[in-house]
Amino acid sequence: MSVVGLLFLLMGAMAVGSALLVVTTARLVHSALWLVVTLGALAGCYLLLGAEFVAWVQILIYVGAVVVLLLFALMLTRAPTGVQTGLTTGNRVVAAATAGVVGLVLVTVVVAGFGGARVSVDEESVGSATSMGDAIFRHWVLPFEVLSVLLLAALVGAIVLSRGRASSGEETP
């Protein structure tokens, strides 16, 4: 096995292992940090596959913004430095089973769809900014626009929800 293959396996194992730690650790903030490790390991996988642009965007968006926002929310609500009890839900068996089944379905789909496909990682153009831009803004431009509308709706919805109480109290003409 090549060095890249070995590293890829290591990164994958790291992602899965830290993902398990996310749901099992007894400290809320630590579980957010294990999530950082998971996402970072994923970014490492992308890098090893030659998708440099995707890897750094993954770090920038998920590690640098999403989890930081998560941490922000945790600190805003409750985040003692000590161990917390009762964080694990009572439905853990069902949850684990669901996660396992979803994972199985995803793996099946990917294997069925791309099982025999071979992409040369050495080609520069696989994950570069140019090829990503071409793919998104030529082939996938409609899904991209639909997604952006969806995100905009979510944004407006969040604002409406957060302002709902304040405006219902004021606007009674």
**Which of 84, 80, 100, 83 is closest to 92 using CA atoms?**
100
Question: CB of 113: closest distance to another protein in angstroms?
Answer: 28
**Which of 44, 41, 55 is closest to 127 using CA atoms?**
55
With respect to another protein, which residue has the nearer C-beta, 108 or 124?
124
**Which of 90, 88, 98, 68 is closest to 21 using CA atoms?**
88
Distance CA(16)–CA(88), nearest Å, equals: 19
With respect to another protein, which residue has the nearer C-beta, 10 or 27?
27
With respect to another protein, which residue has the nearer C-beta, 7 or 126?
126
Question: CB of 110: closest distance to another protein in angstroms?
Answer: 26
With respect to another protein, which residue has the nearer C-beta, 98 or 148?
148
Question: What residues make contact with another protein under the rule CB under 8 A?
Answer: 27, 29-30, 33, 36, 52-53, 56-57, 59-60, 63-65, 68-69, 71-72, 75-76, 79, 81, 128-129, 170
Is residue 154 classed as helix, strand or coil in its secondary structure?
helix
